[in-house]
Structures are given as structure tokens and as C-alpha cells.
């Protein structure tokens, strides 16, 4: 019998973590941060100082592994699905407890190395990188398969845990992008070939959205439409987006080059993810762009640079984070904003109170400088309801376990499953620690 033990991310958004156990062998899938709770403690996702693990657990910023000691002992390996902090960001805080190898794709492992370095931590066990679409053994009875899929950060995989009694599929996070700008389409063939799928643990963030998530190529057209279609001669251009969204950064660099502007990346987080992309052999912008890696060097850089109008600045701070670069540029006249300069937000506001407040403060400061603001140049990296429908049919699991969502999203996922012919008892709406047997 296979056990699925939810640790984090069930009936909540963030700190994704689940254990799949067969007899006395188990694999842990993801070990992420709850970003909202974490940033509340630190005020910034990139703070280097160390917070005690007990505080992080108490404040629900990391999955509570201390409450599942027996199951944790059975864990033979940790497999991470992709590089987002809500999937890997708790690992640096658990280094003293992790004694098993951590497996991920090349980019994910490079990001993880950078996160560990930031926190001045190291793992006692191995960090093992794999190509997408590879399969490897982790213990006597368990093997793991990484199936490539599209998302908003490179080399994201669906993780399949194979046991002698069938397999469990972990699809958290993903979208079905059939026209990706970088990397390949989701590996539908490998998904279709899966046999005896006992359970599907399924991303439900947009289960309430009755549509198909548009391709990233649509986001590229939205950005192209603004950058190449709006007059920007002799104006400054500042663009902000997610630091881990490497393909979007590539689009922005290409559009800057079309405008004959030099791209300038400003901010520590952008440099960190771009270094990981370079080390993983995905893309290297070093010959094509300038980098201002540290906020403390900002003032020096802008003093040195004569013509900001022949550059295109790519900066951190799309959610209006007070310590990030874009907010800092609006303070003390650090950046020479002029009338009708362009500021592009290639993101959407991640809905929580802090973000809405921070963005409102930032946008009113920008408005006071009379710049032109373009918001929501973005498409999501998460599947919506009509993608879920396709995906469930392809995987054809016996049972579905919705995750990565609050209760209404999980219930929406369940309603879709019922519509597809599943019985009530085969769709499990779980809370953390409420295990299920497959």
C-alpha cells in the first residue's frame, strides 16, 4: 500500500511538501517556503541572516517536519520539482536535519546551491542534478522519474514515484504551454505512457479559472506591443519581472536589442537566477548586458552612467517590495526619471494585503514623477481548469489529491474530477498531516 503524507501546501498556498511512502521507504517531494509568512518575518526574500528553525515552523513559514519524525526517518531522498522558493526555499533551514540526497534538474540544483550559499549553509548529503526526462533509483523499492513540463522557471518537472504497486504523479507546479519560447513542449508521450497511476497530486492554484492558461509567447507579444509600439525615443525604460523567469528575461533582452538599447540587470536576486541559468548551460547574458549585482552599488552606477536613455533597465521589485530596486529608484532621486518615461510591470500582483499596499505606494511615487506605467504584461505559469481537464485525462489516475490551493480551489478541482466521472471517495481534499492510503 502507498501512503501519501501531506506536510505543507494542502489547504494553503505555499511551503509545498509531501511524503510518498511505500512500506518503510519514502521520498519527500519539495520542501518550500510559505512566501507570505516568510517575508512577514524577514521583510525581504533575500535576507542573509539566519532565523531559528523553531520560529519558522511556529510562524508556518516552512513545512513542519518536526511533527512527522517517524515518516521523515523513512525518507531516502528529497526530490524537488523546480526552482521556485515555495518548492525549494526551506531546504537551507533544514540542513542540520537532512541526511539524504537531494535530487533536481540542473537549473534547480544550481539555484539551490545559490540559496544555500546565501544562507551560509551546506548540506551534509549530496545535491544530485539530473536531466529532464530521466529516471533513477532511490531505494530498494522506489525509483523516480522526472518528466519535463512547462512553467515560469526553467527545467520544471513532473515527478513520478514508481513503486512495485504502481506510481504516484506529483504535478506541482505546471502549465501546458504548446508554444514555449525556450525549452520543449510538455513531454506528453512520457505522461501517456504512465501505467497503473495510483494517485495524482495536482496543482490547484487556478482550478477556479474556467480557461486555458495562455502560452508564454502571448506574454512576449504583450511586451513587444508596448516596447516596440509605444514612442520611447529619448525616454528611460525600466522593466520589472520575476527574477526566476529566465525565458521572460530573455524576451526582454531581445526586445532591448531590437530597440538598440543595452539591457542592464539591477538587483541581487536577478543576478542569482541568471548565474544559475548560466551554470546550468541554459543562457548567458554576460556579453549582451550590464549587471549591477548589489543594491549598494546602485548610486555609484547611476553617477557613472551618462546616457540612461540608450539602456533598458531590468530591475527587481515588481510587487512593490520596499527594499527592492524599483522602490529604491523612486527614492532620493536615485534614478533620473523624466516626464513620460516607461515603467513596465511584467507580472501580476500576487494577491495579498502587503503586496497590494506596497504596489499602491510604489505606483503613486512613480505617478508623481509623471512616468507612463504599464501593468499586467503577464501570463501565468500555472494551469487553469481546462488544462487540468486535459491533464487528468492524459495521466488517468485512480485517485486525485488536489494541492497548492486554499479549500475553495481544492473543491473546484474536486468538482472537475466528479464531472470527469470520478467518485467522491477517489478525490481527497486534504489538510497538512491528514494522510491518505492509495
**Number of H-type helices and E-type strands within the chain:** 14, 19
- The mark string for 323-342 relative to Zn ion (x by CB under 5 A, - otherwise) is --------------------
Nearest distance from C-beta of residue 61 to Zn ion, angstroms: 17
When the beta carbons of 84 and 328 are compared against Zn ion, the nearer one is 84
Kindly report the number of other CB atoms within 10 A of residue 95's CB atom: 15
Q: Which is nearer to Zn ion, 36 or 341 (CB)?
A: 36
Of residues 20 and 80, the one with the C-beta less far from Zn ion: 80
Helix axes 407-419, 385-395, angle to 10 degrees: 50
Residue closer to Zn ion by CB (options 22, 273) is: 273
Non-local CB neighbours of 155 within 8 Å, separated by 6+ positions: 82, 83, 105, 106, 107, 108, 132, 148, 183, 280, 282
Distances (CA, A) of 18 to 10, 223, 297, 370, 419: 9, 37, 41, 48, 26
- Cα–Cα–Cα angle for 293, 294, 296, rounded to 5 degrees: 150
Applying CB under 5 A, which part among 25-33, 79-87, 125-133, 188-196 lies near Zn ion?
79-87
- Closest contact distance (angstroms) between CB of 402 and Zn ion is 16
Q: Over 146-199, what HEC string results?
A: EEECECCCCCCEEEEEEECCEEEEEECCCECCCCCCCCCCCCHHHHHCCCCEEE
- With CB under 5 A as the contact rule, which of the stretches 173-181, 214-222, 233-241, 265-273 interacts with Zn ion? 173-181
Sign of CA dihedral 249, 256, 216, 359: positive
- Shortest distance in whole angstroms from residue 421 CB to Zn ion: 29
Q: Interface residues for Zn ion in 260-319 (CB under 5 A)?
A: none
Q: How far is the CB of 173 from Zn ion (least distance, A)?
A: 4
Single out the segment in contact with Zn ion by CB under 5 A; choices: 66-74, 76-84, 93-101, 280-288.
76-84
In the bound state with Zn ion, the residue whose beta carbon lies nearer, of 89 and 199, is 89
Residue 172 near residue 403, CB atoms below 8 Å:
yes
Find the part of the chain contacting Zn ion (CB under 5 A) among 63-71, 83-91, 222-230, 291-299.
83-91
**C-alpha cell of residue 350:** 500576487
- Who contacts 47 (Cβ-Cβ below 8 Å, separation ≥6)? none
Residue placing its CB nearer to Zn ion in the complex, 277 or 343: 277
Whether the Cβ atoms of residue 183 and residue 150 lie closer than 8 Å to each other? yes
Nearer to Zn ion, 108 or 139 (CB): 108
Binding test (CB under 5 A) with Zn ion, winner from 106, 173, 275, 341 = 173
Q: Is 45 in the site for Zn ion (CB under 5 A)?
A: no
In whole angstroms, how close is the CB of 234 to Zn ion at the nearest point? 39
Least Å distance, CB 198 to Zn ion, is: 24
Nearer to Zn ion, 81 or 308 (CB): 81
Q: How many residues line the site for Zn ion (CB under 5 A)?
A: 2
Binding status of residue 84 toward Zn ion by CB under 5 A: yes
Residue among 46 and 173 whose Cβ is closer to Zn ion: 173
Cell of 47: 535576507
User: Which listed range, 28-36, 82-90, 211-219, 355-363, lies at the site for Zn ion (CB under 5 A)?
Assistant: 82-90
Which residues contribute to the site for Zn ion (CB under 5 A)?
84, 173
Amino acid at each position: 500500500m502507498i501512503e501519501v503524507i501531506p506536510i505543507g501546501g494542502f489547504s494553503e498556498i505555499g511551503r509545498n511538501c509531501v511524503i510518498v511512502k511505500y512500506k518503510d521507504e519514502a521520498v519527500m517531494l519539495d520542501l518550500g517556503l510559505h512566501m507570505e509568512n516568510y517575508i512577514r518575518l524577514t521583510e525581504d526574500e533575500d535576507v542573509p541572516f539566519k532565523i531559528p528553525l523553531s520560529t519558522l515552523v511556529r510562524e508556518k513559514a516552512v513545512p513542519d517536519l518536526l511533527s512527522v519524525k517517524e515518516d521523515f526517518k523513512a525518507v531516502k531522498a528529497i526530490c524537488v520539482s523546480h526552482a521556485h522558493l515555495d518548492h525549494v526555499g526551506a531546504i537551507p533551514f533544514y540542513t542540520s536535519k537532512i541526511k539524504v540526497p537531494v535530487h533536481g534538474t540542473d537549473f534547480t540544483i544550481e539555484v539551490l546551491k545559490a540559496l544555500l550559499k546565501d544562507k551560509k549553509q551546506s548540506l551534509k548529503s549530496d545535491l544530485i542534478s539530473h536531466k529532464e526526462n530521466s529516471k533513477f533509483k532511490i531505494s530498494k523499492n522506489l525509483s523516480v522519474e522526472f518528466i519535463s513540463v512547462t512553467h515560469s522557471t526553467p527545467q520544471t518537472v513532473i515527478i513520478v514515484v514508481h513503486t512495485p504497486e504502481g506510481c504516484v504523479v506529483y504535478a506541482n507546479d505546471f502549465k501546458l504551454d504548446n508554444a514555449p519560447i525556450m525549452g520543449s513542449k510538455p513531454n506528453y508521450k512520457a505522461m501517456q505512457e504512465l501505467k497503473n497511476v495510483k494517485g495524482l497530486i495536482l496543482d490547484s492554484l487556478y482550478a477556479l479559472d474556467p480557461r486555458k492558461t495562455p502560452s508564454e509567447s502571448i506574454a512576449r507579444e504583450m511586451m513587444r506591443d508596448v516596447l516596440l509600439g509605444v514612442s520611447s525615443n529619448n525616454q528611460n525604460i525600466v522593466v520589472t519581472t520575476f527574477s526566476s523567469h529566465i525565458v521572460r528575461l530573455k524576451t526582454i533582452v531581445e526586445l532591448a536589442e531590437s530597440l538598440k538599447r543595452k539591457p542592464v540587470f539591477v538587483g541581487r536576486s536577478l543576478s542569482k537566477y541568471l548565474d544559475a541559468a548560466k551554470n546550468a548551460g541554459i543562457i548567458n547574458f554576460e556579453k549582451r548586458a550590464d549587471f549591477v549585482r548589489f543594491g549598494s552599488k546602485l548610486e555609484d552606477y547611476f553617477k557613472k552612467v551618462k546616457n540612461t536613455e540608450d539602456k533598458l533597465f531590468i530591475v527587481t521589485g515588481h510587487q512593490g517590495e520596499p527594499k527592492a530596486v524599483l522602490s529604491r529608484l523612486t527614492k532620493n532621486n536615485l534614478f533620473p526619471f523624466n516626464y513620460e518615461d516607461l515603467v513596465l510591470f511584467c507580472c501580476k500582483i500576487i494577491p495579498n494585503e502587503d503586496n497590494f499596499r506596497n504596489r499602491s505606494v510604489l505606483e503613486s511615487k512613480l505617478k508623481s514623477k509623471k512616468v507612463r506605467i504599464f501593468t499586467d504584461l503577464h501570463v501565468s505559469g500555472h494551469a487553469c481548469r481546462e488544462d487540468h481537464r486535459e491533464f487528468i485525462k492524459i495521466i488517468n489516475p485512480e485517485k486525485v489529491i488536489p494541492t497548492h490551493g486554499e479549500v475553495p480551489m481544492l473543491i473546484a478541482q474536486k468538482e472537475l474530477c466528479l464531472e470527469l466521472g470520478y467518485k467522491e471517495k477517489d478525490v481527497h481534499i486534504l489538510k497538512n498531516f491528514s494522510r491518505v492510503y492509495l
